[in-house]
A and B are shown apart, each in its own frame.
Chain A
Amino acid sequence: MANIFYENSILFALTQLVPLLYLITTVLYGIHFFRETPLAGTLKQPALILTVITHVADLGLLTSVEGYRLSYSAYNLMSMVALTLTITYMFIEFTTKSDKTGVFVIAFSTLSAMFSSFLSAHTTSAGPAFSGIGIGIHLIAAIFGFSSVAIAGLYSGLYLVLFRQIRLNRFGLLFQRLPNLEDIGLLIMHAVGFGFFFLSITIIAGVLEQRALSETINLLEPKLVTLIIIWLLYGISLLIKPLFGWDIKHMAVMLIALFVLITALLFVMSLMTPSFHGLRF
């Protein structure tokens, strides 16, 4: 079976351009964070916007090639993860006016985009594809949920790094450039809130879609079990702080552990079980 990326030259070009744009944006954010070069500061936001627009165009074209259906494949998932992470970060940057942490989030997006681009070159089948609003919401909400989980994990890492720097009297670059501990803590809690919201949407949309399908979903299917566990853990972590008085430092440790666990599970399951909850499309 032929690779669809080789059959469509525009799609092929965009798929190669997207990771390059992510890389350029990361470099610009990195230069501005570490060197405070004014030119990088001026260019980084336009680069971010251009990257997102190009990526949306790339995914749009890919969907149109597949008959306007969302395909469930490892490269598409990684690509969506990169995009949703960046959109979520962009939303945070534009609303909080804090552009200091971009390099850490977009670097992760870049890795996802590069991985996706690498996978696309070795994929002959686009994988199962879906159409319909319900399944679309289910899939996109799941990816936004994961992006929020990733951002919560990344900010938790930054929180712990800054916390440790202050405790050890290391007042270097990270101390100077990162937002204060309270602000990072707030970002973490917002990301957890978003994550829980999107995962809830994922479950609701999934249940509604399942009713509309003739085939029954196996409730013990690994992805479903994982999703429920993640959803429960995030729900609990939202309650832990107000109910048990957990401080952000402990929350940060737990969120990093959750992020690592979820990422590992998603990677393994995307590669090992490419089917969608055991359904055939």
Chain B
Amino acid sequence: MNIISVGVNHKTAPIEIRERISLSEVQNKEFVTDLISSGLASEAMVVSTCNRTELYVVPAMAELNCDYLKEYLIAYKDARKEVRPEHFFNRFYCGTARHLFEVSSAIDSLVLGEGQILGQVKDAYRIAAEVGTAGILLTRLCHTAFSVAKKVKTKTKIMEGAVSVSYAAVELAQKIFSNLSMKKVLLIGAGETGELAAKHIYAKNARNIVITNRTISKAEALAEELGTNRVLPYESYKEHLHEFDIIITAVSTKDYVLTEPEMQQSMVRRRLKPVIILDLGLPRNVDPEIAKLQNMFLKDIDALKHIIDSNLDRRRAELPKVNAIIEEELVAFGQWINTLKVRPTIVDLQSKFIEIKEKELERYRHKVSEEELKRMEHLTDRILKKILHHPIKMLKAPIDTADNIPSKVNLVRNIFDLEEPNQSLQ
């Protein structure tokens, strides 16, 4: 019994290749259904995101190997000109399980510890389950992967700390102010960056967010989306600077939107209460001289990247803990796979003894009363249970490696004269 995975991801191929080979949800369903219908695989699942397209397959025939799967996917996407087998990685058996555990726990992601990948793996499993291509093996593999991801999230700090500029900006604000719901925020610029920062700070309970933008309608639209409905005309926001504890600027302009004299005046008016200015614009929107003012925290993108780097270092330091969790689950998964290999022998063994029991009881059926027969049946059941307990326990022993299972299975089959096992189950 084997599980193969092949795929293209951010470590093996550039973005144009990843884009070319990725599958939409509809294509995903069609691809795994075709693969199962062809009779080559008994189970199949595809994880397809912007950073990876990976196939997880349980082969039904020996002909189905990694090269075949790569060609199958390339042919399905009609991408022979751009995508080559060298763009793919291969994994087998425990390697496949380890890889899916690493993917689900976000240590294989482009941004270490990013939070979206688990949802994407869950989506991949949902699709496979919906079209019926996820069997016992993939189901167990995926559920173990989800459990690994949950453990990693709760027992390590791999997902802690901001790793995007807008999140880092909010993290910094939280290191200065204790309660953002009590602070007044001014957002200058309602573009994509500003919107993202506003949403992040809103998520941290900042409710008093005032938005200003050259095109007032964009500011109004964002304010409505956030539910704050507070907008300042772009021409007059400078008159209100002293009212704000947090100022976020994200506009596209060559001139500074905040200058040193303006902020100095504002600081005097607010009696030097601390202010944080988060300059997310490129080129910078705020005069760097402002940073010298008392109780002023001015941070541009470069400064915020320091926070991101520091958080990424902390996440990297958690990798040994994550790997230990993965190892632990990998061993448990391997042991479960081993029990699958002995399951047919256990079933055959139990069937054999039940058959003997029923044959012997049948001989006495007309010689004893109904009640006596029931007692005899009950007695033989108990004897069988006790006789089979140790052989079954030995077969299921978790310390077994994959190598010594066949010899043990053959021994049991020979001793008890069991017929040859069903190959499809093995």
Contacts and interface: CB of A to CB of B under 8 A. Distances in A.
Interface in B290-309: 291, 294-295, 297, 299, 303, 306-307
B273 to A, nearest CB: 7
Interface residues on B, range: 20 to 34
B333 interface: no
B313 to A, nearest CB: 9
Given A166-B172, A180-B178, A247 B306 contact: no
Contacts of A167: 291, 297
B178 A183 contact: yes
Instruction: Identify the interface centre among B179, B297, B310: most chain A CB within 10 Å of its CB.
Output: B310
Contacts of B161: 176
Interface in B274-324: 274, 291, 294-295, 297, 299, 303, 306-307, 310, 314
A182 B178 contact: yes
B367 interface: no
Instruction: Identify the interface centre among A36, A181, A182: most chain B CB within 10 Å of its CB.
Output: A182
B265 to A, nearest CB: 16
A186 B177 CA distance: 11
A248 B291 CA distance: 18
Contacts of B217: none
Given A245-B272, A247-B273, A180 B177 contact: yes
Interface in B203-219: none
B56 to A, nearest CB: 34
A165 to B, nearest CB: 9
A25 B161 CA distance: 28
Contact of B175 (A169, A181, A247): A181
Contacts of B294: 247, 249
A108 B179 CA distance: 30
B271 A245 contact: yes
B271 to A, nearest CB: 4
Contacts of A183: 178
Nearest to B157: A36
Nearest to A170: B306
A171 B176 CA distance: 13
A239 to B, nearest CB: 15
Nearest to B161: A176
A175 interface: yes
A132 interface: no
B314 A181 contact: no
Contacts of B274: 181, 247
B390 to A, nearest CB: 40
Contact of B295 (A171, A175, A247): A247
B414 interface: no
A182 B297 contact: no
Nearest to A186: B178
B311 to A, nearest CB: 8
Contact of A166 (B178, B271, B273, B297): B297
B174 interface: yes
A36 B174 CA distance: 21
Contact of B306 (A36, A171, A182): A171
A113 B47 CA distance: 61
Nearest to A249: B295
Contacts of A175: 175, 310
Contacts of B179: 182
A50 B137 CA distance: 52
Nearest to B176: A181
Interface string B62-104: 0000000000000000000000000000000000000000000
A129 B157 CA distance: 54
Given A181-B274, A245-B272, A166 B175 contact: yes
Nearest to A245: B271
Instruction: Identify the interface centre among A170, A180, A245: most chain B CB within 10 Å of its CB.
Output: A180
B314 A176 contact: yes
Contact of A182 (B177, B291, B299, B307): B177
Contacts of B273: 247
Contacts of A182: 176-179
Nearest to A246: B272
B306 A180 contact: no
A176 B310 CA distance: 9
Given A181-B274, A245-B271, A247-B274, A166 B307 contact: no
Interface in A144-175: 162, 166-167, 169-172, 175
A176 B177 CA distance: 14
A167 B297 CA distance: 6
A162 to B, nearest CB: 8
Contact of A171 (B178, B271, B272, B310): B310
A181 B307 CA distance: 17
Contacts of A245: 271-272
Contacts of B177: 180-182
A247 B176 contact: no
When A and B form their complex, which 4 residue pairs have the shortest distance between CB atoms, in order from nearest? A182-B178, A245-B271, A171-B310, A183-B178
24 contacts: A36-B157, A162-B175, A166-B172, A166-B175, A166-B297, A167-B297, A169-B299, A169-B303, A169-B306, A170-B306, A171-B306, A176-B310, A179-B178, A180-B174, A180-B175, A180-B177, A181-B175, A181-B177, A182-B177, A183-B178, A245-B272, A247-B272, A247-B295, A249-B294
Interface of B: 157, 161, 172, 174-179, 271-274, 291, 294-295, 297, 299, 303, 306-307, 310, 314
Given A180-B176, A182-B176, A247-B294, 12 more contacts: A36-B157, A166-B176, A167-B291, A171-B306, A171-B307, A176-B314, A180-B175, A182-B177, A182-B179, A247-B295, A249-B294, A249-B295
